A and B are shown apart, each in its own frame.
Chain A
Amino acid sequence: MMAYILTLLCMAVLFLVNRSEHTTASAHKTMKDNPLTSHALDTASGLPAIGMKTTLYRMSTDDTWEQITSQYTNEDGRLSHLLSDAEFTAGIYKLNFDTKNYYSKLDKKTFYPYVEIVFEIEKPAEHYHVPILLSPFGYTTYRGS
């Protein structure tokens, strides 16, 4: 009887440990190979900024901007995958958000033809989150985690 209970206990512990490892592994897998993320929230509506064209550039050795990717924010206002760990080298990057067209689709005017955030990556082994909190006549950005 005791052996039976102990076995059940061991199985329960193993199950829980495996589950937590799986969750960690899943969470880690989501974060893995996605070193730079962004998020656009429309604070005027309290909703994610959906379907906004966003372009990522890296500054080249000749000081010109090299386009890496151009994507549209998803239904959560996020960009699914900007670049991989291998592509994410130290340097100066720029995220361009096409705010004018985004607001135009909502029949709204905005002060900003576009929003560009220029930032410097010193430690590409770290994760960088570069979101914008956007409204027609103001915006905020910050380095998040």
Chain B
Amino acid sequence: MKDNPLTSHALDTASGLPAIGMKTTLYRMSTDDTWEQITSQYTNEDGRLSHLLSDAEFTAGIYKLNFDTKNYYSKLDKKTFYPYVEIVFEIEKPAEHYHVPILLSPFGYTTYRGS
């Protein structure tokens, strides 16, 4: 958990399996109100992203996680209602650990602040 202050996890509740190989991009909002990309990665075989950013990079502010759901489902030959899923969240206490997962299916999704 060390030097890994922000984690995410994508579970495909339609299949009951992790959402593997889904492109996920993390952004931080800049002082000029534009989105600055921090990293773009693919979820691993457990549906997780290995390391999004370090403690030093994790400053208070507004972040956005973009999950490329359309391409993920397209590789599974499935359609989805969502071209992508974006979760915008505010980090007030960067010393804490934040877990921002999604429970995903083709026509619905859930997200929450986890631990």
Report A's interface with B, CB cutoff 8 A. 92, 100, 111-120, 137-143
Contact, CB under 8 Å: A116 / B88: yes
Contact, CB under 8 Å: A143 / B81: yes
Main secondary structure of the interface of A (DSSP, over half): strand
B62 to chain A: closest residue by CB: A113
B66 to chain A: closest residue by CB: A118
A137 to chain B: closest residue by CB: B113
A92 to B82, CA, bound (A): 9
Cβ of A115: which chain B residues have Cβ within 8 Å of it? Answer: 88
Main secondary structure of the interface of B (DSSP, over half): strand
Contact, CB under 8 Å: B86 / A138: no
A121 to chain B: closest residue by CB: B81
B70 to chain A: closest residue by CB: A120
**Ranked 5 nearest A-B pairs via Cβ:** A142-B108, A138-B112, A140-B110, A143-B107, A137-B113
5 further A-B pairs in the complex, CB-CB below 8 A; given A111-B113, A118-B83, A118-B85 = A92-B83, A113-B90, A119-B83, A137-B112, A140-B111
Tell me, rounded to whole Å, the shortest Cβ–Cβ distance linking B88 to chain A: 6
B35 within 8 A of A: no
Cβ of B110: which chain A residues have Cβ within 8 Å of it? Answer: 138-141
The contact of B108 among A112, A114, A118, A143, by CB within 8 Å, is A143
Cβ of A141: which chain B residues have Cβ within 8 Å of it? Answer: 108-110
